[in-house]
Structure formats: C-alpha cells, structure tokens
C-alpha cells in the first residue's frame, strides 16, 4: 500500500514537471569573456544536481580512503580481541577438565592480549608450581600491569610467593598495600610467625577471631621451635604474649614454664592456669618444679583440696609434693586416694617408688606389677 502511494506521488510529480518543461523550457545563459554557454533551464538544473551528487561522492570516497587504515586496524584489533576471548574461554574450560598442559597453552596466548591479559595471567600464575618462581612472578606482574581490577589478586599472589621463598620484607611490603580480609590475615599470621613478631601476633588476635582462623599444627610446632631457640627469660616472656591467639594454649604454656630459668614465675603461671582450668598435665607440670618454693606450693595445693578433692590428677600432685617434702605418710594417702578415683599406671609407679623408699619392697613390687597390668 505504501509503495503504491509512493509510486502514485512520483507519477503525479513527473507529470507536473513534464507539463512545466513542455510549456516553457526556459534557458540559462553563461557568458565569460568571448565564451558563452546557453542551455535550457531544466537541463541546467539537471547538470547542477549531477555536479552536486558527483562532488558528494568524491568527498565520501576520499573520506573512506583516508579512513581505511584505521578501519583495517580496528577490524584486526576486534578480531584479535575475539580470538583472545576464545583462548581464555578454552583455557578455563580445559583447566576445569583437568587438562592443565593444554589449558596453559591457551591461557598463555590469551595473556598476550591486553583485553584478556589480566585474568589469563592470574590463572596461569596460580596454576604454575613453586619451581617456576620466575615465570610465576612474570605472570603476577603482567596481571598487575593489566588494570586496577587485577591489582589486589596479583599483589596477594606475589606476597604468597615471597613468603614461600622466605623473602619476608618483600612479603611484608606487598601485604601492607592489601585490604584486610581473611586471605590477607592468614598470610599476615604466617609472616609474623616467621618473623617472630610476638607482640604483633598478639595484636592480631581480634582479626583471627573475626575470620575464625586457627593455627595449624605446623604453625604451633613453629612456635614451639622458636621457644626452644630462646636464650633468655625476657625473650620467653615476649613469646608468651602470642599465646593468646591459640584456642588451646595449654601445651605451649607448659613448655614455656619448663623453659623458664626463674621457676617462681613458672609456678605463678601454672598456679593461675590451674585456677582457670585444671587439667592432669598442668598438675603434673606443677609437681615438676622440684623443691622450688616447696612450702608455699604445699600450702597452695592444700588450699585446692576442697575444689579438686575428686580429681585424680590433683591427688597425684599433692602426693608428689608431700613426697618431695619428706612427708611420706601423707604422700601415701594422696596416691591411694588418686587410685580410688581413677586407676593409673603412673600413680602405681609413683606409689611403688614411694613404698620402696619406705622399705616395703613387697608392696612396691605389687604396685609395679599393677602398673604393668594397667598399661596392658
């Protein structure tokens, strides 16, 4: 319908134009010096229209020719970008399928294009082994240079690798530029343990609790190794401040007390810990202080009687201290009460030694035999 209407309008316009031309064609006269050109008005108008159209065409053609190198370059860039995105997609898919070698080849090609360099480099660096340290560093750096979106992840990777390589100052520098979150807090914990920054570790307690981060057995062993290397009580006291980050600090606390040269401090620490949370190992550690301040320790043990009267470890501790002070009768009573609460090979052995010291060899042998039977 629209085509028919348009065609009808064209026919009507052509009819009117034809009528005007037939009625009066008119003329155009152009004179220049001795030259003149005369033509009908309609032919002149036609020539002018042709000239305008030709000029526009020539302008358009020149514009296209001048813009052609840029258009070709853009086309090539778009094609390269499209291929890079395809390489990235294939690399991710193959990586998830467990085909790491093929995935790495595609990701490496994707990392060569600015558009996909960031994610491709991050994935490559993450997949590389620690043995490829230089290549990993190169990939982290490429991601770092790829834009703000990849800076945090790249710096985190560089911090991890520096920590693995024991480049502690480098790791500390990268960590200082990162936001605080679970990943960076875990790294900071590892860094401070390696640097033996005990007070800073204690200050990290709040963040560790916030992100529910607990120390691994390897990290706890590392703390114990650090304690074993210390030469002075001053170092050990500073080390103790870091124990607050542990959910279960009893084992290391006992190791700390055993390492102290000032046994009065060790006694105080153990006493305070027993008051908070009594356990068999704490009572045993309390007996291992030898004769240091023995009268006061005996007085302390006797003050615990009401609180721990049904605790076998407490009875054993009391018996050991009485034995140290030469009060064998009281020691014998405490050991027997401990066995009544909970039979133990350790208590049988202690009782056997006490009986041997008292000259009751027959009863001593019987206790040694009972210790063997309990062990079985």
What's the CA angle centered on 258, arms 254 and 262, to 5 degrees?
A: 120
* pTM given for the model: 0.70
Q: What is the pLDDT of residue 169?
A: 93
Helix, strand, coil share (%) of the chain residues, nearest 5: 80, 5, 20
Instruction: Please count the residues of the chain.
Output: 376
β-strand partners of 38: 29
Who wins on pLDDT, 331 or 88? 331
The string of pLDDT tens digits covering residues 182-236 is 999 999 999 999 999 999 999 999 999 999 999 999 999 999 999 999 999 999 9
Q: Return the pLDDT at 148.
A: 81
Task: Report the number of secondary-structure helices (H) and strands (E) in the chain.
Answer: 21, 2
Q: What is the pLDDT of residues 231-264, one digit of tens each?
A: 999 999 999 999 989 888 888 999 999 999 899 9
Confidence of residue 127 (pLDDT cuts 50, 70, 90): confident
Please tell me the CATH code under which domain 263-376 is placed. Answer: 1.25.40.10
pLDDT score of 77: 59
Q: What is the pLDDT of residues 359-369, one digit of tens each?
A: 888 888 888 88
- Between 99 and 61, the higher pLDDT residue: 61
Question: 82-179 — its CATH code?
Answer: 1.25.40
Burial class (CB in 10 A: 0-12, 13-18, 19+), 30: exposed
3-state secondary structure 49-97: HHHHHHHHHHHHHHHHHHHHHHHHHHHHHHHHHHHHHHHHHHHHHHHHC
Q: Where in the chain is the domain with CATH 1.25.40.10?
A: 263-376
pLDDT at 240: 92
More confident: 56 or 94: 56
Question: What pLDDT digit, counting tens, does each position of 157-190 carry?
Answer: 899 989 988 999 999 999 998 999 999 999 999 9
Distance from the first to the final alpha carbon of the chain: 107
Q: Is the pLDDT of residue 122 over 70?
A: yes
Cβ-proximal residues to 241 (8 Å cutoff; 6+ apart), any chain: 198, 199, 201, 202
DSSP secondary structure letters along 341-369: HS--HHHHHHHHHHHHHTT-HHHHHHHHH
Cα–Cα dist 241/200, whole Å = 9
């Amino acid at each position: 319908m629209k085509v028919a209407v348009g065609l009808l309008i064209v026919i009507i316009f052509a009819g009117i134009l034809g009528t005007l031309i037939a009625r009066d064609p008119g003329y155009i006269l152009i004179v220049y010096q001795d030259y003149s050109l005369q033509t009908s008005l309609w032919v002149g108008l036609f020539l002018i229209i042709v000239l305008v159209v030709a000029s526009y065409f020539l302008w358009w053609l020149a514009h296209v020719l001048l813009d052609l190198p840029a258009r070709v370059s853009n086309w090539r860039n778009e094609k390269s970008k499209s291929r890079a995105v395809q390489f990235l997609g294939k690399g991710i898919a193959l990586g998830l399928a467990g085909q790491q070698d093929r995935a790495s080849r595609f990701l490496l090609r994707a990392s060569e294009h600015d558009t996909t360099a960031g994610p491709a480099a991050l994935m490559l660096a993450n997949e590389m082994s620690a043995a490829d340290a230089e290549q990993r560093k190169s990939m982290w750096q490429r991601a770092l240079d790829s834009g703000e979106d990849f800076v945090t992840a790249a710096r985190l990777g560089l911090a991890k690798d520096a920590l693995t390589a024991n480049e502690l100052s480098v790791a500390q520098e990268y960590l200082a530029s990162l936001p605080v979150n679970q990943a960076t807090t875990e790294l900071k914990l590892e860094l401070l343990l390696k640097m033996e920054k005990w007070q800073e570790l204690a200050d990290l307690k709040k963040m560790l609790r916030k992100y529910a981060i607990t120390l691994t057995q390897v990290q706890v062993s590392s703390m114990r190794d650090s304690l074993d290397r210390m030469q002075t009580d001053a170092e050990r006291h500073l080390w103790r401040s870091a124990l607050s980050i542990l959910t279960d600090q009893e084992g290391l606390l006992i190791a700390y007390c055993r390492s102290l040269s000032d046994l009065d401090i060790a006694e105080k620490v153990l006493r305070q810990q027993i008051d908070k949370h009594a356990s068999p190992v704490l009572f045993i550690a309390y007996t291992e202080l030898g004769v240091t301040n023995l009268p006061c320790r005996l007085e302390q043990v006797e003050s615990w009687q009401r609180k721990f009267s049904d605790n076998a470890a407490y009875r054993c501790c009391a018996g050991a201290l009485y034995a140290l002070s030469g009060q064998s009768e009281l020691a014998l009573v405490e050991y027997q009460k401990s066995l009544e609460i909970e039979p133990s090979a350790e208590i049988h052995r202690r009782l056997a030694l006490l009986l041997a010291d008292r000259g009751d060899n027959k009863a001593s042998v019987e206790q040694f035999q009972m210790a063997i039977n309990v062990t079985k």
